[in-house]
Structure 1
Amino acid sequence: MLRVGRGMVAICRRGAKQKHWNPCMCRSPVFVSGYAPSFVATITTPAFSRQLEDKNQNPSPTNTVRQESEVSKLIETATANGSVVGALQGVQRLSEWVTLRKIDFKKDLESDEDFTKLLKILEKGIPQLSPSALLDGLKSLLNLGIDSNSYLIQSLENEVLWNVRKVSMPLLLSIVVFQAKHQHTDLQRKVLRESVETVQRRWVEVRGVKDIQVIYNHHGVFNLEFISRIDDRTIELAEEMSYTDLSRLLCTLATVKRRVTPVLRSLAFHMARQSDRLPPKQLSNVLYAMNSLSFPDPLLLEKIANDFVSQGNAIDKPTVVGGILTCMGQMRWRNTMLPNIRGQG
């Protein structure tokens, strides 16, 4: 019997003797020896199939060695001078590798002595870290898989807690957003509570559009009185906002389904006064937001229509045109110019 590797070769006895083999001539495969077949079919044994599966599922020893070498080299560099900054950078890089599934925390790091040394350096240097670095460290360590109840995580959380009253409003809101996703321990819940209360006390410091967007996107963690103040703050700052910022804020309100008429009127009024134009895609988003909020402001709709028509030749996606027409129909908005726009593509 002729063998190839670990599989067996099956041929047709009649076809093996002919120059041109016809599969119709062979009723059933017959195992023979001594022929050089013109047609072969490999029959894989169960043992060989398992070997193929293992080869596909398990990385080769070469790749494993290469990964271990890269991890060791990174940790060695991060711990070379005992610097907390270097240790933090090493942790951040390892966190990126875990996210990319380049390494596995349980397998490659958890029991590694050099990694433990890296964490010890970071732990000793916590008081030297800035508030933003503390937050970065927390993000990286929790992403790696470090337990929220570990001493290192709790030390970082405590340091963040002591700094919440001193950090800038954007960083304070970043802490709120991060802590809202990590509520596994009493300390984490305390950090979130203190951060939220600090934001609410310092509401007059909310000035940027991004800050307002963050607050609206996470309005559930704040009290109603504070959100009402943010509504007033939005109306107050709308005059200073750009067309792009106004449109993004309107879309944010639509996303969180917050329909506060005075705020919407203020945004629409200042958007309608803008002399510049938004890209077709953003205009489509604004139109969708107005439809979602059931807020068909006539002046803003006219502005959007004029912007669309002036950029009609630049619209290269039929889906944008389709979205516009759909919103027009749902809002029962009649415009004689927009139906003439044709997307290219």
Structure 2
Amino acid sequence: MAARLIQRCSRLLASSPSFQASSFSIPSECVRAGPLVQSPHPQSSPLHTPVLCRYTHSLPALQQKVNGQSEKDFLAMIQSMSEVEELLRISPEHSKNGNRAAAIINQIAKVTKTNREDVVNDKRFGELLSTVNRQIQMIWNARLISLLRSLYALRMDVKNHYLRSMETEVRWRLRKFSIELLGRLARVIVPHAQTEEQKALVLDLARSVELRWTEVKDTKTLVNVIYSLGQVSKTLLERMEDKVLEYAELFSPEESRTITMALAAQNWRSLPILRALSFHLVQRNTELCPAVIVDLAYAYAKLNFSQHQVLQKMASELLPKMSELSSKELSGCIRSFSTLRFFHLPLCEAIAQACVERSSSLTPAQLSNLILSFAHLNFLPSQQEEFFSMVVQRLSSELDSLSPAMLVDLVWSLCVLQLVTPAFLQKALEPQIYSKFMGDVSSKSTNHSLKLAQINASAQLECPDYQGPLLPLSLVSTAAPPAAGSTLSSLQTELRNVLRYVLPDKDACNFNVKTIYGHQIDAEFVLDSENNPLALCNFADPHVLHGVGTKVLPEGARRFAVKSWEFSSFCLRTKDLTGSHALCRRHLRAAGFLVLEVPFYEWQELKSEWQKSAFLKDQIKKVVAGAMSV
């Protein structure tokens, strides 16, 4: 009897409230002995529905009905509040519900711009944290991640008890989170991982995503994982490469920007990803906003990825939006394009015009970077006089504020553009400037020492009014480019072999000659008036530091310098030399050389040794004829 009574009571409890109300009006004898009377109210579910299923079905409704207000209405109410005091004032009403307390904290973090410490130390805020901590196991997963992000945004102390408690709870729930929530968590926790516990949480998160990477089904999660966890796990980054190629067509320009920036931040030059993203950026008809263009250009420049079609699209779409760029974005954009050797004449002209119009808003460093970019591309604006007068006016009084490295870059750029004046040369060649780079063997210092040698050459060869000072020979010798040795390119190797065939005498040709002008010559030889080679060891070499010969060249003899121009010597998709190589050619000619140029695109068309030797002989005749016609 007791078992039957418990069974019937459980069925009544599992029934809908309407059924219970109707059944309570029926005598127990009728319930036990006779058929049930049809209730006038509709039943929401049959009597045989299990208790657990009915409770689970009604659980969200029960959770949303707290304090007589639905969850949707509650969220709408707090989201309409834009003052911290308002949110803290309503907090006691919801201090018994952990999820609502967490929602209030999230809204407080959104509206708090200043005085974060006062908010964190407020007693009412502490009560909200205490409520969340007591009911932390009941906090919804998505809200728990949002709560963690809010506490980081409020700059809570990493040793705070409540923060550590929430991080521990997140760590315990990692296996229960969906892959989308894991991606969101990675975006939240990785930038703020400072303590050992936080770093351990990041490692556990990376391992979880490594095991479940095939579950990634949307672009947002994919972007979050690559951007945040790529620097933690190289294995995960390699696995995500397949996912990126799978979803590349679906990425928005902003998502493509984020992934490319993530690759640049980790210095991971994944050509399949870069090519796929670039292809779809070109094929998509949507316009790129200036911020996306600037970031993409920076990432491509850092990864040394030059895809002409996407660069052309970026430059064309940026051109009409030049007024939307800030001075910093203007400087950074042209610097990225120049690093990629991408020359777009209308864009460069527009940037030069914007520099003239915004000269007062450009800082000396930004203006120096702009001029350096123009020098890399060997570009002179059409309004050259106006641009140069603006540069002199803005920078003449600001040279002392520039760092030695930036000052050297600026003066070297002016030398390339042939806009340098004796005042700029004197400033760059002062002992207190070049002494900063003496004895430093780092790549940056070596590069600036080389530029100083080239500035010194410009002062000697191209500025007759310059009175000094000049670099000491000790620094010039260290600044000369190192000998190529075993690092010869295929073009240089083939050129050397053909020159040995054309000039069979060993003393007739020197290879890899380091000059005092900061440039290296692939080969050097001397021909007399009858175009017969002469032994170099007999003649003085004023362009090298330690020459062996002492004789002067006979009348009619000519000194030749052979320069091979590689693919990297030219601007992208053009036959125009970049600034540094154009400066080298000018210096060699000013030093008395006849420059025999061998560009890669002409050399590649020559197949046999006979064709290559005939090409060199023909080039010699052309150079001599050009010199005689001057």
Q: Same fold (TM over 0.5)?
A: yes
Question: In structure 2, what is the Cα distance between the partners aligned to 1:73 and 1:321?
Answer: 42
Q: Indicate conservation of the 8 Å contact 1:291/1:331, yes or no.
A: yes
Q: Indicate conservation of the 8 Å contact 1:78/1:118, yes or no.
A: yes
Deviation for aligned residue 1:271: 1.9
Q: Aligned pair 1:79/2:92, yes or no? A: yes
Q: Aligned pair 1:341/2:350, yes or no? A: yes
Residues 295 and 210 from structure 1, CA distance in 2 versus in 1: closer, same or farther, beyond 3 angstroms? same
What secondary structure does 1:258 align onto?
coil
1:332 maps to which residue? 341
Amino acid at match of 2:293: L
1:136 maps to which residue? 146
By relative contact order (CA 8 Å, sep 6+), the higher-ranking structure is 1
Q: Aligned pair 1:288/2:288, yes or no? A: no
1:67 maps to which residue? none
Matches within 5 A, 1:99-114: 100-101=114-115, 104=118, 108-109=121-122
1:303 maps to which residue? 313
Q: Indicate conservation of the 8 Å contact 2:102/2:147, yes or no.
A: yes
Q: Indicate conservation of the 8 Å contact 2:189/2:202, yes or no.
A: yes
Matches within 5 A, 1:27-176: 77-80=90-93, 82-92=96-106, 100-101=114-115, 104=118, 108-109=121-122, 117-140=127-150, 143=154, 145=156, 148=159, 150=161, 152-153=162-163, 155-176=165-186
Normalization by structure 1: what TM-score?
A: 0.62
Structure number with larger C-alpha Rg: 2
What secondary structure does 1:265 align onto?
helix
Aligned sequence identity (%): 22
What secondary structure does 1:80 align onto?
helix
Q: Indicate conservation of the 8 Å contact 1:79/1:87, yes or no.
A: no
Question: In structure 1, what is the Cα distance between the partners aligned to 2:342 and 2:172?
Answer: 54
Question: In structure 1, what is the Cα distance between the partners aligned to 2:175 and 2:313?
Answer: 43
Amino acid at match of 2:98: V
Q: Indicate conservation of the 8 Å contact 2:84/2:111, yes or no.
A: no
Residues 302 and 199 from structure 1, CA distance in 2 versus in 1: closer, same or farther, beyond 3 angstroms? same
Residues 74 and 221 from structure 1, CA distance in 2 versus in 1: closer, same or farther, beyond 3 angstroms? same
Q: Deviations over 1:286-343 (max 9, x none)?
A: 23322221111122233334434xxx34421484555554444333333444334355
1:202 maps to which residue? 212
What secondary structure does 2:175 align onto?
coil
What secondary structure does 2:267 align onto?
coil
Q: 5+ unaligned residues in a row in structure 1: which ranges? A: 1-69
Q: Aligned pair 1:315/2:325, yes or no? A: no
Q: Deviations over 1:151-208 (max 9, x none)?
A: x44543343233222323232123234444245365x455433322111111123344
Deviation for aligned residue 1:228: 0.5
What is the count of residue pairs matched by the alignment? 267
2:280 maps to which residue? 270
What secondary structure does 1:165 align onto?
helix
Deviation for aligned residue 1:246: 2.6
Residues 217 and 240 from structure 1, CA distance in 2 versus in 1: closer, same or farther, beyond 3 angstroms? closer
Deviation for aligned residue 1:259: 1.0
Q: 5+ unaligned residues in a row in structure 2: which ranges? A: 1-82, 358-630
Amino acid at match of 1:165: R
Normalization by structure 2: what TM-score?
A: 0.37
Residues 71 and 238 from structure 1, CA distance in 2 versus in 1: closer, same or farther, beyond 3 angstroms? closer
Question: In structure 2, what is the Cα distance between the partners aligned to 1:72 and 1:331?
Answer: 52
Matches within 5 A, 1:215-254: 215-219=225-229, 222-254=232-264
